[in-house]
Amino acid sequence: MKLGAHVSTSGGLSKAIERATDIGAETIQIFASSPRAWRFRHPDDETAEKFIQLSEQEGVGPCYIHGSYLVNI
């Protein structure tokens, strides 16, 4: 069993991996964009690749995406 946490992506996706390793999390959940907006911004290729590389390097995964709060309306 893996233990994880919901971590902030403030400062960039890779910051989520850093925050996870700081608390000893093995898996994470993040908001991919603002949970209070319908608009979704995809990360650019460089940002996504850095996130993937860092998560593999640190052994953090899988990464779960938290759904928008608006789906509950």
Determine if the pTM surpasses 0.85: yes
Contact 7, 41 (CB under 8 A): no
Instruction: Report the 10 Å Cβ neighbour count for 38.
Output: 9
pLDDT in tens, 14-72: 999 999 999 999 999 999 888 888 888 889 999 999 999 999 999 999 999 998 898 88
**Domain containing 8: what range?**
4-72
pLDDT value, residue 12: 94
Count up the domains in the chain and report the number.
Answer: 1
